[in-house]
Structure 1
Amino acid sequence: MRSPKEMPLTAAELGYLWTGYSINEMSKWYLILFRAQAQDEEMKDLYTYALESANEILIERKRLLNNDGYPNAIGFSETDIDESAPTLFSDRFLLYYLHNGTRLGLEFHSRSLASATRVDIRKYHSNCVISTIQLHERVVDMLLNKGLYWRTPTLPAPTSPEYIQKSAYLNGWHGDNRPLNSMELANLYQIMDLLMIIETMCRGFTQTADSEEIAEIFQNGVTVAKKQYHALGELLEKDALPIAPSLSAEITDTKKSVLSDRIMVTHVAGLFGSLLSQYGFSLGAAMKHDLVTTYSAQFAKAGAFSEKITRLLIKKEWLEKVPGAK
């Protein structure tokens, strides 16, 4: 237990520690499974490194929670994965999956650090950020070395800096309609990357789910992600900008159960939660009317599906309760 001289965890510190534990504990089992299913030895080594990092983060996170008297999340076990099952996703997808995972991890750990007060909690989250940066570097290097990194477009450099001179800069539907700026493009492409991961995973989960009810909700997830991807893609097409290729071909034809329904539904719920966060952040940087309108509409649709999948988790008694106020 913590020393009586130490301050107890604040609500913010507890929220990020407990939620982070749940995320990392679930992710660990995906890392174990995907390492077993990877065909490329370099990929296996990369997943081994990612798994070691995840375990180190989990051990310390568990210790910090236990020291303040908080129980561990129930989490998952080896019964939720089948390492001997046929391969579900290609190595190419597994690399993109890890890339998106490190991106989301960097954002989560940074927010965790920003909300921390206690010295030991700040130090812990700082170490999480450093560990995730190191993993991200290795993932990006492998994407580049294998020629798989899809680069967003380069933009022409202006001849000189300038202020915005017309309110028409905000237009998006008619009149003096400007192209997307670099910050809007950065956020737009990142959302689309996540949507590709969600669509591909939901497709794979649809064909390997144990029950029809679960398969149906994954199919709904495919529909939502695909429609949103195309809606955002139309914004790029207006400015004659490229769209990243789909990953839906990176799924094998196996129908054998690879993951339990519970761990698959939980992961998809988490991915849609991350999608909502991405939309919220991107809305804050969007200035064009049509972009704001599109984000708002897609946010509402993603939120509706997120609630649907959360209700399923509650119905199945698969959703753990986050510690809260009395």
Structure 2
Amino acid sequence: MQRSSQPLSSSEIGTLWLTYLEKTFIMRVLEYFIEKSDDKQAKNIMTDLWHNLKTYVEKIEVTFKNEDIAIPNGFNERDVDRNAPKLFDFGFDIMFVRILKEISMGMYTLHLNMAYREDVVLIYKDLTAITQKCYNSCTQYLLEKGILSRPPNVTHPITNEIVNDTNYLNGFNLFGEKRSLNTIELGYLHHSIETNNIGIQLITGFAQCAKNKEVKDYFVKGKEISKKIIKELEEKMLQSDISFSAASGNFVTNSTKSPFSDKLMMFCIFLLNSFGLGSQSFGAIFSLRNDLTLKMALMAKNIYFYAEDGIKIMIKNGWLDQPPQMADRNKIIRGE
């Protein structure tokens, strides 16, 4: 890759740095899942993704080298044990890859809007196309296997209606009926329950095999937060006579030997917390029933404080890579 005459901007350095961490993390997860997969179709999906990510990890490394920028530590072979027994079963590998691709799509959309140099823009455009293709492959695979539940069906509208009463916003009416959920609200509730169901399976497995006690306790706490979110959102759906149909079965085996380092598992939950904060925020913004807006906001608050506790654990154990910093002019002036 030829060196550009235009230096990377601060935002481009930051987004490429974060992309590198995320991609090296996903590659280590894929390496374990590929090794343990006994389904040819699933293995092909994950192997294709691994090769695609490897190409762009190398492109980021070359870009940083050409700019004399330190390459992030990221995650390497020390963070994965491919010989560890199966920790997850029943198609969980593709379920989790699908969630990771949801996170990636959101990151690329934001990062593309922060890129100005043509080669950086092209990286995010290419990664977006790769991610969308992989996400669709995962979704169709899971539907074919009967592992993924589709959102509930609703009666199709045959006319257009206008909201003409502010009571439409009221979800706190103790003495009258609340309006039923609209399809936008139902969509966000279903998505949040779906991702938290997967999160419970993931974090249960992590809690079983984490070596550090503080990390283990942190994962157990996260499991309880997800269970509470699911319970409260399912109650909102039941109030509108809608039930959530989750995939049957338990994805977690009885293994207690970790396939991943505690550092990698903590970074994984860090990513999922960021994703959860974004999802709850969108749910709050686009919900027109005020009880749902408040519920989503309170959940986002709980996720935020949980995420903050996780970051403190990562710092304490030396697991948090420091993002590239702006020069501290006051320190330079003082000669520090």
| Same fold at TM > 0.5 | yes
Q: Larger deviation: 57-66 or 87-96?
A: 57-66
Q: Which of these two proteins has the greater Rg computed from alpha carbons?
A: 2
Match of 1:130 in 2: 129
Match of 2:198 in 1: 197
Whether 1:294 and 2:295 are equivalent positions in the alignment is yes
Unpaired stretches in structure 1, ≥5 consecutive residues: none
Match of 1:15 in 2: 14
Whether 1:325 and 2:329 are equivalent positions in the alignment is no
Match of 1:152 in 2: 151
Whichever residue aligns with residue 161 of structure 2, its letter is: E
Match of 1:229 in 2: 230
SS at match of 1:291: helix
Whichever residue aligns with residue 254 of structure 1, its letter is: S
Q: How far has the Cα of 1:102 moved from its partner?
A: 1.6
Distance 1:4 1:39 in 2: 45
Unpaired stretches in structure 2, ≥5 consecutive residues: 328-336
Match of 1:69 in 2: 68
Distance 2:78 2:309 in 1: 26
Match of 1:250 in 2: 251
SS at match of 1:85: coil
TM-score between both structures, scaled by the size of structure 2: 0.91
Q: How far has the Cα of 1:281 moved from its partner?
A: 2.1
Q: Larger deviation: 128-137 or 110-119?
A: 110-119
**Alpha-carbon contact 1:18-1:65 (below 8 Å) kept:** no
Match of 2:51 in 1: 52
SS at match of 2:250: helix
Whether 1:116 and 2:106 are equivalent positions in the alignment is no
Whichever residue aligns with residue 242 of structure 1, its letter is: S
Distance 2:81 2:245 in 1: 31
Cα deviation digits, residues 252-281 of structure 1 (max 9, x gap):
011122211111112112211211111122
Q: CA RMSD in A?
A: 1.9
Distance 2:235 2:279 in 1: 19
Q: How far has the Cα of 1:13 moved from its partner?
A: 2.2
**Alpha-carbon contact 1:33-1:81 (below 8 Å) kept:** yes
**Alpha-carbon contact 1:207-1:255 (below 8 Å) kept:** yes
Match of 2:5 in 1: 5
Match of 2:215 in 1: 214
TM-aligned CA distance change 1:72 to 1:247, over 3 Å? farther
Distance 1:308 1:108 in 2: 23
Distance 1:3 1:33 in 2: 35
**Alpha-carbon contact 2:28-2:80 (below 8 Å) kept:** yes
**Alpha-carbon contact 2:234-2:244 (below 8 Å) kept:** yes
Q: How far has the Cα of 1:223 moved from its partner?
A: 0.9
Q: Larger deviation: 306-315 or 39-48?
A: 39-48
Match of 1:78 in 2: 77
Aligned pairs (5 A) from 1:239-318 = 239-245=240-246, 249-318=250-319
Whichever residue aligns with residue 161 of structure 1, its letter is: N
Whichever residue aligns with residue 67 of structure 1, its letter is: N
TM-score between both structures, scaled by the size of structure 1: 0.94
TM-aligned CA distance change 1:121 to 1:21, over 3 Å? same
TM-aligned CA distance change 1:247 to 1:307, over 3 Å? farther
Distance 1:95 1:150 in 2: 14
